[in-house]
Chains A and B, each alone.
Chain A
Amino acid sequence: ETGVTQSPTHLIKTRGQQVTLRCSSQSGHNTVSWYQQALGQGPQFIFQYYREEENGRGNFPPRFSGLQFPNYSSELNVNALELDDSALYLCASSLFGGARPEQYFGPGTRLTVT
């Protein structure tokens, strides 16, 4: 157990809808990164949040957005869902500026878009 939690576990949405996924970071960590993992692929970096601001972004369109709260938890919002957004969404917790670079993943949210 990493201490990183995500909700919900599974979600089914219709194309065009909007979705919000949530993540609570591990105690002592201040940074949350979000990844998308399609079936049979490695996770792809979406963005990272540190000090409540986006601290880097991967090759994802603006309809993917996020928030970080003062308690370091985070949300991932996806607007105008497309079929290709069906994937496992992972958040990873880490300590920015610390000596140890590891990122620890939560259990993930499986999103299905129909």
Chain B
Amino acid sequence: QKEVEQNSGPLSVPEGAIASLNCTYSDRGSQSFFWYRQYSGKSPELIMFIYSNGDKEDGRFTAQLNKASQYVSLLIRDSQPSDSATYLCAVTLSGGYNKLIFGAGTRLAVHP
């Protein structure tokens, strides 16, 4: 079982819709949870991080964390074609150094 799993996609949504990206993780010791956006040929860009159960909102983005279900999601409201990218979920474990463990990413395509 992979430590962090994401659906590879592509997830295709129309412009203006809500895009929902999901991620599950296997280690219950996971402490912090991150969403990065990566455009083709570019490096990952941090969108949000969350470490407490519940929702965290930042502009059009909402991260949701459910530690009991080992599940974290990212909602993108009013999706725009410029949101088309690969979204990487990453977690860090408790204790020691904070190495990021990434999923393989979900490719999002927002069509006009």
Q: Which residues of A contact B (CB under 8 A)?
A: 2, 33, 35, 40-45, 48, 50, 55-56, 58, 88, 90, 92, 94, 96, 101-108
Contacts and interface: CB of A to CB of B under 8 A. Distances in A.
B44 A56 contact: no
B100 A107 contact: no
Contacts of B96: 56
Interface stretch (B10-18, B53-61, B74-82, B101-109): B101-109
A59 to B, nearest CB: 11
A48 B97 contact: yes
28 contacts: A40-B104, A41-B104, A42-B90, A42-B103, A42-B104, A43-B100, A45-B101, A48-B97, A50-B97, A55-B97, A56-B96, A58-B99, A88-B43, A92-B100, A94-B98, A96-B98, A101-B92, A101-B98, A102-B46, A102-B49, A103-B34, A104-B46, A105-B36, A105-B43, A105-B44, A105-B46, A107-B42, A107-B43
